[in-house]
Amino acid sequence: MVPDCTRDPLHDSRLRCPAGRLRRPVSADNVTVKQRIEIDKPGRATLSAGNGRRASALNGTTTRKKTRTSFFGGISLLNALTYWVGMAGTAAFAVTAVLAVAPRGIDFFGATVLGIITAIGGGTIRDIILGVPVFWAADLAYIWVALAASLATFAANSLFTRKEIYSLMLYLDGLGASLFAIAATDKVWALDFGRPLAPVILGIITAIGGGLIRDVLAGRQTLLMTREIYAIPISFGCALYVALLAFAPEYRSLGAATAIVLIFALRAAAIHWNLTVPDRLASKPKEG
């Protein structure tokens, strides 16, 4: 309550100050955004219009609320980049799901369902582990992108041969995995969850989770169970990005782009030249 002001007996909702003027009660802590309080003399307060300021009724000081310069309607440039990387990965994984089952003559409904499950599967597992709201529930654009990509792929799959479809699926899977891996690693790091190992582990889970769900539902052998160089580039890229976040966070955007390119380049090279894990690093059952 304003110092030295008493409640007016005729107007219960107003105050009578020493100057004799009636005033409405104000808070001693804060005033609404469009008001400020100036205490010019001990025991006397006056109200005057303000613009975007808050004042203390105790010391008469005013402070202007700070705002952060941002892009894309309140989203920082880096967050916008991460957002679109996630969208691109969603589309890529949805496409791979439809391509995986296209040769089997599946109908459009089954193809789109599998596409959506594959697109959001890895990220859903990640968010459940993190204990945060699932990403696609907060932004349904991920579902719509996965649906559109699945339908477009279903309509265009007849333009390719089975060999072309399989090759295209592998490359797109590598692209989606690289995008999801770094986006997930960045999210886990920003949440300060289990640094430094958890960002790498959840980056890998997010990258391969959707593909594993796709292959299991499609009745295919998962890429993780083959000797193809699949999870190794993802692990290396996530670890490299975490190291950069730990020791050179000012290069976060450049590091994310570099890690994505590196993962995809290694995976694409493995697909193109049919590179596999060496025999000495593969398990061998005992003969006899």
> Across residues 174-188, what is the average pLDDT?
95
Tell me which of 55-64, 115-124, 181-190, 273-282 is least confident: 55-64
209/168 Cα distance (integer angstroms): 19
> Across residues 210-236, what is the average pLDDT?
93
Range ranked top by mean pLDDT from 46-55, 61-70, 231-240 = 231-240
Query: Of 176, 153, 189, 188, whose CA–CA distance to 85 is shortest?
Result: 176
Tell me which of 11-15, 62-66, 235-239 is least confident: 62-66
pLDDT tens digits, residue range 59-84?
A: 444 444 333 333 334 346 767 888 88
Return the residue matching tokens 């640094």.
195
> Across residues 112-138, what is the average pLDDT?
96
pLDDT at residue number 62: 41
pLDDT at residue number 15: 54
pLDDT of residue 195 exceeding 60, the answer is yes
Task: Tell me what the pLDDT averaged over the chain comes to.
Answer: 80
Query: Of 37, 34, 54, 56, whose CA–CA distance to 46 is shortest?
Result: 37
pLDDT at residue number 145: 96
